[in-house]
Amino acid sequence: MLNIDAKYRNILPPLIGVALVFLLALLAPFITGHDPVHMSISERMAPPSMEHLLGQDNYGRDIFSRLLYGARVSIAVALFSALSAGILGITIGIIGGYFGGIAELITVRLADIILSFPPILLALLIVTILGPGVETLGLVLTILYMPGYARVAYGETLSMRQLEFVEAARALGSPTWRILALTILPNILGPLIVQFSLTVSSAVLIESGLSFLGLGVVPPDPSWGLMIREARAYMVYTPMPLLWPCIALTITVLAVNSLCDALRDFYDPRAVSTNFLANLAKTLIYAPIAKDYSQIDAQKAESALLSTSGLRTEFVTPKGRIRASNDVSFTVAPGETVALVGESGSGKTITGLSVLGLVPEPLGKMTSGQVALRSKSDEIICIEELDDEGLQQVRGDEIAMVFQEPMSSLNPVYPVGEQIAESLRYHRKISRPQALLTAVDLLESVGISDPAKRIKDYPHQMSGGMQQRVMIAMALSCSPSLIIADEPTTALDVTIQAQILELLRNIRNQENRSFGMLFITHNLGVVAEIADRVLVMYCGRIVESGPVSNLFRSPAHPYTKGLLASIPHIDHSSGDRQPLYAIPGTVPALDELPPGCAFAPRCNLAIEACVQELPELEVVGDGHWSRCPRWRELRG
């Protein structure tokens, strides 16, 4: 007995059904020796016989041959219109959903205009202008079905474009067309396959309906719709000539629907272990892309690996412009880990995204400041001066990012090995087998056992800790000079969190790695374990910065002091857990900040002068700065 994998068992019956229908249509001339348009008036409405298996119609034509030849027309029209409408609609929908703005206006809204026309009236209009015929039918159905695909692709892309794994693909430096084709499209194929099945079935029926109305296939050419139309007048006397095309229609529609359902399940990697569509897409689309740094203007060299100066990133909101990060200046030295700390809304993540040129446009934009990166070849790259292509080359290769949620940052439809190999193939221009071999080494280096086997795993087959190790392996793949880790341990439980921190520490201390790290977190406990220096952010500004030991021992800003007091700790003399401190009040909205110190409403040291004028950063110790003029009272 054949031992067939369950996923193939599910797809085989409908595949055989559809193949049979197609084969019968294709081989019609060899199966029946009758000409489908040959009339024999003397034998009209003759019953089935050995010569005419299904009998003859009202013109004496062989019903079986008309049924087989009719299938050719019906299936060809249905497939052509479903495919052409699909290609057009999906392209329009993805472009509109991904880019938004003017692209959305001229793509998806065009589809909406077509959708707003009554479909039959639109079909009648086109047939009246172009005249009936198979070609017109194909065009009519393409126009009618295109908006359906566009709406599905648009909606799915909208919900997908801000997901972490799309951000991660951008952070790896993938060009936009690769993100659309290899990241977004494979993830929205499920509903599109369903749409395709509905379209093919519906097109077969509509072709029959329009031919039935005399607006489709022109007699005497056979089609199922025409057969129904002609047999209708005689159905009271002989119902079978009407039933045969109806039965053929039903079987075809059921077979196509079942095949598309099975394909959708087959394609979903959460249900199966592999998929051929994604592999096919990758084989067809992947190609090495030349690297060109000619767009990059060098600026005066500095010793820092990363240096930001007066960085300001603004967002347009219904209440006006807000500054999510404002006048942010800091450096990261080679091999140094700098922690960016603050509550939600403090601007730390936006600062990290600004460094990578990943601020979500069009509502957000880095409006002033400079971000300079020392490349691996010791050139200074001005990030804010790069165009899209320059940014793509820097992302993943010079700067890599590790996101907070590994499950949503990894693309669910590709094995993890392929995802690690993607960045290597793009930036290193190496072959897929070479990239996969390197992926195995990388997985091993981040502590994943049996890496040769695990590269074939999909993200959902791994635990959260393993997924984050894969994200770290991806970040390390091109040996970047800077890694931005955005809350990489927040989504993990405490034990795994400690393991990931240990892993990051070990990797950073390896002799052959000298990357700097910008570690974004809200957790000062984590900072103590991993960072060399800390930048504390509040309402978009740095309010204190300094070496970890100095800042923890002797904080010089009330906000930092409040954050430190909020860390749970145990009194070692009594063994009792100390009560948790909470900073009073909440972070103010960015559009309602006072002109002076934004922390004033929550600060027990605030005086009138604090709300009048914004305090400047001042030196409070060795490499230690604070934006609070009352830092002495705080320490005293």
* Closest distance of CB 314 from ligand SF4, Å: 23
Q: Is 615 in the site for ligand SF4 (CB under 6 A)?
A: yes
Closer Cβ to ligand SF4, 53 or 617, answer by number: 617
Contact string 546-565 vs ligand SF4 (x = CB under 6 A): -----------xx-------
Question: What SS3 class is residue 263?
Answer: helix
d(CA 248, CA 208): 11
- Near ligand SF4 in 191-250, by CB under 6 A: none
3-state secondary structure of 162: coil
Q: How far is the CB of 577 from ligand SF4 (least distance, A)?
A: 28
What DSSP string runs through 128-158? HHH-SSHHHHHHHHHHHHHHHHHHHHHHHHH
Residue range at the interface with ligand SF4 (CB under 6 A); choices 75-83, 308-316, 496-504, 604-612: 604-612
> Three-class SS string for 498-533?
HHHHHHHHHHHHCCCCCCEEEEEECCHHHHHHHCCE
Q: Which one, 61 or 630, has the nearer CB to ligand SF4?
A: 630
* Sequence-distant (≥ 6) Cβ neighbours of residue 547 within 8 angstroms: 532, 533, 534, 622, 623, 624
Query: Which H/E stretch holds residue 482?
Result: strand 482-486
- Return d(Cα 412, Cα 479) in angstroms, integer: 24
Q: Which is nearer to ligand SF4, 507 or 600 (CB)?
A: 600
Total residues in contact with ligand SF4, by rule CB under 6 A: 13
Contacting residue, 80, 98, 165, 599, with ligand SF4 by CB under 6 A: 599
Alpha-carbon gap, residue 554 to 47, rounded angstroms: 102
- CB of residue 409 vs ligand SF4: minimum separation in angstroms? 36
Out of 7, 427, 561, 630, name the contact with ligand SF4 by CB under 6 A: 630
Which C-beta is closer to ligand SF4: that of 281 or that of 605? 605
Distance CA 522, CA 181 (A): 35
Nearer to ligand SF4, 133 or 596 (CB): 596
Of the pair 332, 537, the CB lying nearest ligand SF4 is at: 537
Give the closest residue to 267 by CA, choosing from 343, 375, 189. Answer: 189
Q: Which is nearer to ligand SF4, 61 or 541 (CB)?
A: 541
- Whose CA is closest to 174, among 411, 526, 441? 411
Of the candidates 351, 293, 296, the one whose C-alpha atom is nearest the C-alpha of residue 327 is: 351
Task: Report the C-alpha gap between 208 and 226 in whole angstroms.
Answer: 7
Looking at 146, 556, 603, 620, which residue binds ligand SF4 (CB under 6 A)? 603
In the three-class reduction of DSSP (H, G, I as helix; E, B as strand; rest coil), residue 475 is classed as helix
Instruction: Say whether residue 402 binds ligand SF4 (CB under 6 A).
Output: no
517 is a contact residue toward ligand SF4 (CB under 6 A): no
Nearer to ligand SF4, 374 or 627 (CB): 627
| Shortest distance (Å) from residue 492 CB to ligand SF4 | 33
Indicate whether 311 belongs to the interface with ligand SF4 (CB under 6 A).
Answer: no
The pair of three-digit structure tokens given for residue 466, joined into one six-digit string: 């393993």
Rounded to a whole number of angstroms, the minimum distance from the CB of residue 617 to ligand SF4 is: 11
Residue with tokens 């730390």: 348
Residue 382 touching ligand SF4 (CB under 6 A): no
> With CB under 6 A as the contact rule, which of the stretches 156-164, 235-243, 337-345, 596-604 interacts with ligand SF4?
596-604
CB of 464 to ligand SF4, least distance (A): 37
610 binds ligand SF4 (CB under 6 A): yes
HEC string for 292-345? CCCCCCCCCCCCCCEEEEEEEEEEEECCEEEEEEEEEEEEECCCCEEEEECCCC
541 forms part of the interface with ligand SF4 (CB under 6 A) = no
Binding site for ligand SF4 (CB under 6 A): 557-558, 597, 599-600, 603, 605-606, 610, 615, 628-630
